[in-house]
Structure 1
Amino acid sequence: MRSLRLLVPANIRHNSGGNVYNARLAQGLRALGVEVEVIAADGSWPEATAKERRRLGGLLGAWGPQAEITAGTVTLVDGLIACGAPDELEYAAAARRQTWVLLHMPSASHPGNEARSLSAATGVICTSTSAAAGITSLHGLTDSHVALPGTDPAPVAEGSDPPHIIAVAALLPNKDQLLTVEALARLQDHAWTASLVGSDHADPEYAELVRAAVAGHGLEDRIRLMGQLTGAPLDAEWNRADLSLLVSKAEAFGLVVTESLARGIPVIIRDGTGAVEALAFGSLAAGETDVRDGMLPGAAVDLSSNPAEGLAGAIRQWLEEAGLHTGWRAAALAARENLPGWETTARTVMDIVGAPPKERLPQPGPPVDNEA
């Protein structure tokens, strides 16, 4: 495989884990000598107009000889797009195009369409084992591949006094920054500061609720909403952090977890999400499947009952118990040494899509576009 097209959703503009993975995968493949074209597909994916879907079909090579794709080119489609375009993937299969789906997280909103798209694809690459398990459970798909995220090397965080807590994620209901604020509000008798780092434009209404919660608890001087940061400002926030939080209600992997560990910063996550895999990622020796008790660089907390108190309790324990604080830090520093880079991810993907594609049954001709 020497040429690959990566189709990404144009409507996801904030610094999401999926966007980071897609960008770093493209860079890694290019470093391996693969010609990569990244195309932002227009549409409010997984929703799109008929014209946008037909345009996507052209990018996939679904409409036959006149298609916008050369023979032998492999196309890798972000799962958010794929679950909104099952017809187009089926026609691409009929045209015998090599069309793979890169699935970051199973679709909760379009499971039927997703099942069709994944079935039609040449193959499916999941970015976590939890995503692969999810589509097995939802769709009975058992032959997907996994290409876990890489991590960029980073300097060890210096930390702060008093301890500084960081939560890096766009302000979105699933990321549950409201829970973080409510938990921290229960810890005002302890010394700490916190930053919520992430886009406040992805869901302005939710961002306003988070601001109101901070103000309502009188925490404006202790919890800062930083907006989306990149480059030196983001590096500075990471450098002053002592603890990272990722309490998403659903998470396929959680890149921010390994980004934290790359800096020697322990992480508290919500138990039962794919972030559990990320938390243990750098702590597993070759061939191991479980981390020994007490060796995790942080904690996976059960937040199924009274989540604010549960999260507050975990943070309180870290603040109060010097041995736990030191142990988590030591485990994070140890995990830092074992995190694979993005070149590993890129080589895994290249090896997967370079394998002979499976045969597809022919499908009927392209649909008629009746939209004016």
Structure 2
Amino acid sequence: MLDGGTTVMADGLVASGAPDEIAAAVNAGTKVWILSHMALADHHDLEAKALAAATGIICPSAHAAGELRARHGTPYIVVATPGAERANPAEGSEPQHIVAVAALLPNKCQTLLVEALSRLQDLAWTAALIGSHDADPSYAAVVRAAVEHYGLENRISITGELTGDALEEQWHRADLSVLISRSESFGMSVTESLAHGIPVLVRQGTGAVEALGDTGAGAALDLSDPGTLASTLRTWLSDHALQERWRSRALTAREHLHGWDTTAATVLETLERPPR
């Protein structure tokens, strides 16, 4: 057991598996803050018990905080949105290059993007699906099979997880970023896109909408109709004025992103608060 006077911040997925230990630590005088960035969907009661026992909860977005309150009625939540560091603006490509930066997982809906792009083979574009294919190998195989099924191997690259210069090269080439997850607590690839002056398409009803904000640097789409993504991409690929408008607004948004120092300051101020 932790001694009184200690402050601990625990990841929500780990903390939700140990509600009794959290309660004991708090009762002994330890401040235990839970960083809740993803629901423990299969263990609602454990999650609820852990959150209720904790000193408080930190969420990465108002969207995530709202979902947590809706599930558990948890009142004491602090929002600390992730930061982003401005990077060199992307130069784009000819033809237009689309990136989707996310692990290959069913929630991230890469198959929907592949299907949408398959309807646009009369237009010039390239795309890259950038993210780990090890988290769910069976879904990654489905994504690869979809690319092959539509004969898009020469237009859609599945890069695997990239870091450093290799990732930066993809950002440098990109003209549009896509994050269409069914659920997203925030969507850090959205702010990374804006940090490079790249507009973004996101799905309505997710935390990625909050990350995009009112920048006008892209759009939040209602994807209940599977044809919406294809029609939006067709419009963007065909409308030079729209490309320029979204690009200009992404460059403006890039200048107003807050850094990780702001996020850290919010978290540190929170951890220093007296217990409830």
TM-score for both structures, normalised by structure 2:
0.97
Is the 1:198–1:229 contact (alpha carbons within 8 Å) kept by the matching residues of 2? yes
| Unaligned segments of structure 2, at least 5 residues | none
Distance 2:41 2:216 in 1: 30
Is the 2:201–2:219 contact (alpha carbons within 8 Å) kept by the matching residues of 1? yes
Distance 1:234 1:193 in 2: 16
**RMSD of equivalent CA atoms:** 1.1
Distance 1:164 1:127 in 2: 29
Q: What's the CA shift for 1:244?
A: 0.2
Is the 1:270–1:300 contact (alpha carbons within 8 Å) kept by the matching residues of 2? yes
Counterpart secondary structure, 2:220: strand
Distance 1:265 1:141 in 2: 36
| Aligned residue pairs, count | 276
Task: Indicate yes or no: 2:12 matched with 1:92.
Answer: no
Is the 2:5–2:29 contact (alpha carbons within 8 Å) kept by the matching residues of 1? no
Distance 2:31 2:163 in 1: 35
Could you say which residue in structure 2 is the equivalent of 1:215? 148
Distance 2:205 2:64 in 1: 13
Counterpart secondary structure, 1:161: coil
Distance 2:67 2:32 in 1: 21
Counterpart secondary structure, 1:219: coil
The one of 216, 219, 235 equivalent to 1:299 is 219
The one of 188, 192, 197 equivalent to 2:125 is 192
Task: Indicate yes or no: 2:134 matched with 1:201.
Answer: yes
Could you say which residue in structure 2 is the equivalent of 1:329? 247
The one of 57, 82, 92 equivalent to 1:159 is 92
Q: 1:265-297 deviations in whole A, cap 9, x for unaligned? A: 0000111111000001xxxxxxxxxx3xxx510
Could you say which residue in structure 2 is the equivalent of 1:348? 266
Q: 1:131-176 deviations in whole A, cap 9, x for unaligned? A: 1101111111122111111002211001000000000000000011
Alignment of 1:158-177 (within 5 A): 158-177=91-110
The one of 339, 351, 356 equivalent to 2:257 is 339
Larger Rg over CA atoms: 1
Alignment of 1:353-368 (within 5 A): 353-358=271-276
Counterpart secondary structure, 2:8: strand
Is the 1:106–1:131 contact (alpha carbons within 8 Å) kept by the matching residues of 2? no
Give the letter for the 2:259 counterpart: G
Distance 1:176 1:152 in 2: 27
Distance 1:141 1:261 in 2: 32
Counterpart secondary structure, 2:89: coil
Q: What's the CA shift for 1:71?
A: 4.6
The one of 172, 175, 180 equivalent to 1:242 is 175
Q: What's the CA shift for 1:94?
A: 2.4
| Unaligned segments of structure 1, at least 5 residues | 1-57, 62-69, 281-290, 359-372
TM-score for both structures, normalised by structure 1:
0.73
Q: What's the CA shift for 1:106?
A: 2.8
Give the letter for the 2:168 counterpart: D
Alignment of 1:1-372 (within 5 A): 58=1, 61=2, 71-280=4-213, 291=214, 296-305=216-225, 307=226, 309-358=227-276
Distance 1:265 1:110 in 2: 38
Give the letter for the 1:299 counterpart: A
Q: What's the CA shift for 1:88?
A: 1.7
